[in-house]
Structure formats: C-alpha cells, structure tokens
Structure 1
C-alpha cells in the first residue's frame, strides 16, 4: 500500500508498505481523508505533539475512511461502514485513567503520532476508538471530528451559561470552530479576534459573530468577557486573554505554544477578579459529541476547509509553501 512516511525531521518519503495485520479487537480502515494540523507541523519539525513521534512513522491523526477489515472480536463496526477514528489510546490502568482523567494517561499512545496513522491507504485502529458515521456527515467533514472533539473537551472544562459573553482569540481553524461550538452550547454572544479580514467577515456573515476585532489595528477590550478562549498559543495573545476577562471570568488556554514560552500575569487581578484560568489537553471521550454537532448542523466545518491536498503535497504544505490555508485535508482515496 502507498504511504507517506516521516523518515527523519522535515523529511518524508513515499513508500510501498505491506497492508497492516489486524488483531482480534482491531479494525483495518481504508483512509478517505486525513486532516493536517498544528500538531503535524510540530511532529514534522521534531517537536512533540500529544506525545513524541519517532521516525520512521506514518503521520495522520485526523482520519476518516471505510472499514476494510475487522478482527474476530469486533462488534461495533463492520466491513463497508463509514467511520472516523479517535487517535488517542489510553492504558486504562494508570492513576489518571483510574480517576476519570484519561487524557493525562501516563502511557498515552496515538494513531499518527506514536503508531502509524492515516497518511496511508490503510491503517489499523483498536475498535474502541472507531466510530460509525451517520449518513448526514461526509467523509471530508469527518476528517475534522478529531479537532472538533478537542474543542468540545475545552468547553467541557468551562462552566457555560446562556447569559455569558464569550470571546475567541484566534481566527485560525480551531478559533473558528470554537465560535460554533460555544454557540452550540448556548452562549448567547460569541465574538472573534483575529488578523484576517476575510475570516472575520465570514464569521459575521455566516456564523453569527456579533463583534470582531482585527488585532493588527484594533485592541481587544479589557474587563469585557465572561469566557475567553485563547486559540493562538502566543504569549502576547495569552496576556490579552487574561486582560479581556471581567470579574468572575474564565480563560481557556487552548492554543499550543512553544514549550519554553511564558507570559506575565498580574496576580492581584487574578485574585481581585476571581478568574479561572484553565488548560485543555486532547479530547477524552468527546467523539460522540463532536459527531452529533456535525450531524445536527450546529457545527458546519466544510466552509472552513480551504485546501484538499494529495499525499505528494503534504511536505510542501508543512514547509510553508502553500499559502492562504484555513484548513487542509489530504484526500487519500475516494
């Protein structure tokens, strides 16, 4: 089978690999689409994602496809089913798994990170992380279920009420997803700050955003929002997020920054305003919610997918040679 293999830092090779063997509780999936995200940029550059990737490895952790084979003990899906795959696999035995925090698992493994993923014609996943798709969800859209599920976990970490005003900082793919997810969870006003006028306008016109701020020429108001989602991962935007929170506010630090990055906070303001500053890591048990959001139409992801790539274009994209990308997915096969 054809596969794109990361053989070294910033080096891919197209290889002909044997079709992987499946065990009794595993599923063989013919990949349809595989999304490419910031984690793949990090893994390509030799930085860790949810876990370090050790070449040679096939990346691709945002995957949809069709079941091509099932192990003898698999009962939740069958051959020919259209599916999406949660890449994260937990040990079920460590302290964090046993105290209902599996995302912090000491022995976390992940498809497309620590084991071969979807940038290949076939890949294998445990049946426990394979989800059948409703007919209303396309395979193209299903490649975004994993990032949607990460957003769902983020909002699950917050206490949301309809009266709240929310601000999303970052008009990248995840920031735009958070606009729709917060709305789906009942927040009555969601505003967006970013740097691209076309994206800000689309979210006003298509997704009901009330106020937008282009931070290249406008300031985000301080002490103004009950909920702030920081979806950039830069110290400057993280500092803005904290300042934007009004009394009793909640700040979700979702954007993934550099490991050595830090920013300054005024400790008295955190005390005085009784702020909650919350991190969010991966997507524990949120795939079903993400699928439901897509199937119901409360999250519409296809307008955000700007590029459909071939395997041969992945390295070009990760090298920054393809511009104007909102979200890229790789079409492996129809």
Structure 2
C-alpha cells in the first residue's frame, strides 16, 4: 500500500509498505480522509504535539474510514462499519488515568504521532478508540470529529456556562469556527469574534451567526467578556484574552504556542477580577458528544474544510511551498462512502 512517511525533520517520502495486521483488540481501517492541523505542522518541524513523534512515522491523527478487518477480541465493531478514530490511547494505569485525568496520561500514545496514522491507505487502531458513524455523517465531515472533540473537552472543563454570558473568540481559523458553533450549543447566545481579515470576518459573521466581528489590526478591542477563547497561540493575543475580561470571567487558552513561549499578565487584575485561566489538553472521552453534535446538525465541518489534498501534496503544504489558507484535509480514498 502507499504510505506518506515522515522520514526526518521537514522530510516526507511516499513509500510502498505492507498493509498492517490488527492485534487482537484492534481494527484495520481503510482511510477515507485525514485532516491536517497545527499539530502536524509542529511535528513536521520537529516540535512536540501532545507527545513527541519519532521518525520514521506516518502522521495523520484526524481520520475517518471503513473497517476492513477486526481482531479476534473485537466485538463492538464489524467489517464494513464506517468509523472515525480518536487518536489518543491512554495507559489506564498511571496516576493521572487512575484519577480520571486521562488527558494528562504519563504514557500517552497517539495514532499519527507515536504510531502510524491516516496518511496511508490502511492503519490500525484499538477498538476502544474507534467510533461507528451514523448515516447522517459523511466520511469527509467525520475526519474533523477529532478537532470537535478537543473543543468539547475544553467546554467540559469550563465552569458554569449560562446563556446571559458574552463570549469572545480571538482567532478566525478552523478551531475558532468550531468554538463559535459549540459555545452556542452549550448555551452562550452572544458570541463575538476577533481576527485580522475583513473578508474572512464578514463571511464568518454571516455563516456562524456571530453578533459582532472585530478586525483588531484596524480597531482595538474595547469590550470585556465573561468567556474568552484564545485560539491563536501568540503572546499578543494571549495577553489580549486576559485583558478583555469581566469580573469572574473565564479564559480558555486553547491556541498552542511554541514550547519556550511566554506572555505577560497583571497578577493583581487576576486577583481583583477573580479570573479563571485554563489550558485544554487533547480530548478524553469526548467523541460521543462530538458525534451527537455533528449528527444533530448543530456543528458543521464540511463548509469549512477549505482544501482537499492528495497524499503527494501534503509535504508541500506543510513546508509552505504551496501554502493553503484554511482547513486542509487529505482525500486518501474519497471513493469510500
């Protein structure tokens, strides 16, 4: 089969490899679509994701496809099932797993990070992270269930969301678009978005029914908010997120900065406002909720999957030789339905 193998830092090669054999508790998935995200860009450039990726490795942790083989101990998944796969595999026995904080697992492994992922024709996954899809969800849409689940986890660790609150999303990328839909699904009715491109913001105001959009390259933020989502990962926007809060507000630092990155904040203001500032790490046990949100039509992904790539186009996108704006997904086998 064809596999796009990351053979080193900023280097990928198309290789012919054997179709993997699933273990007793695993399934073999024929890949339909694999999403690309900032984590793949970081791994390609030698930076860590949820954990380190050691070449040679096949990336691709946002995957959908059809089950072609099951191990002898698999009972809930059958050959022919349409599935999406949660890439994160927890050890279930470290301190963090035993105390219910699986996202902090000391022995985390991940499909497309520590074991081969969806940028190949077939990959294996444990049954416990493989989810059957309802007929209403296309395989193209389903490859974005993983990023949805990351937003769902962020909402699960956010306290006391209520309809009267005002929310600000800083950023206008794919994750910001998911947050706009999911914040409303969780009850917040007033949602503003800050970005730096007038055309993009105007389009999103209409598509996402946003209350207000602000181009912060032209107009500084003036209002304060009860919930602020930072979905960029730069020091300037992280500082902006903390600065534009009401008393008692929550700030979700969702954008991932570089490992050595820092930003400044006024600690007295944190005290005086009684702010809650949180990070959010991956997506433990959030796929069922994510599937429900997509199945209901409340969250849509296909309108925002801007670039449909072939396997041999991935490296040039990750190294910015042929840069793409917006969410990219790889059609490994788009004929699968």
Query: Above 0.5 in TM-score?
Result: yes
Residues 1-334 of structure 1: pairs in structure 2 closer than 5 A: 1-159=1-159, 160-222=161-223, 224-333=224-333, 334=335
- 1:75: Cα distance to partner? 1.4
Q: CA RMSD in A?
A: 0.8
Cα separation, partners in 2 of 1:195 and 1:324, compared to 1, 3 Å: farther
- 1:156: Cα distance to partner? 1.1
* Aligned counterparts of 1:293 and 1:60: Cα–Cα separation in 2: 23
Cα separation, partners in 2 of 1:324 and 1:6, compared to 1, 3 Å: closer
- 1:195: Cα distance to partner? 1.4
- 1:324: Cα distance to partner? 4.5
* Aligned counterparts of 2:327 and 2:116: Cα–Cα separation in 1: 22
The DSSP-based 3-state class of the residue aligned with 1:171 is coil
- 1:149: Cα distance to partner? 0.2
* Aligned counterparts of 1:188 and 1:218: Cα–Cα separation in 2: 23
CA contact (8 A) 2:316 2:323 kept: no
* Aligned counterparts of 1:195 and 1:112: Cα–Cα separation in 2: 32
- 1:176: Cα distance to partner? 1.1
Residue by residue over 1:32-60, the C-alpha shift from the partner in whole angstroms, topping out at 9 and shown as x without a partner, is: 00000000000000001001000000000
CA contact (8 A) 2:169 2:193 kept: yes
* Aligned counterparts of 1:321 and 1:137: Cα–Cα separation in 2: 33
Residue by residue over 1:109-150, the C-alpha shift from the partner in whole angstroms, topping out at 9 and shown as x without a partner, is: 000000000000000000000000000100000010000000
- 1:173: Cα distance to partner? 0.7
Aligned length: 333
TM-score norm. by structure 2 comes to 0.97
What residue ranges of structure 2 are gaps of 5+ in the alignment? none
* Aligned counterparts of 2:331 and 2:111: Cα–Cα separation in 1: 18
What residue ranges of structure 1 are gaps of 5+ in the alignment? none
TM-score norm. by structure 1 comes to 0.98
* Aligned counterparts of 2:197 and 2:38: Cα–Cα separation in 1: 18
* Aligned counterparts of 1:65 and 1:25: Cα–Cα separation in 2: 18
* Aligned counterparts of 2:82 and 2:322: Cα–Cα separation in 1: 30
More deviation, 158-167/110-119: 158-167
* Aligned counterparts of 2:299 and 2:322: Cα–Cα separation in 1: 26
CA contact (8 A) 2:169 2:180 kept: yes
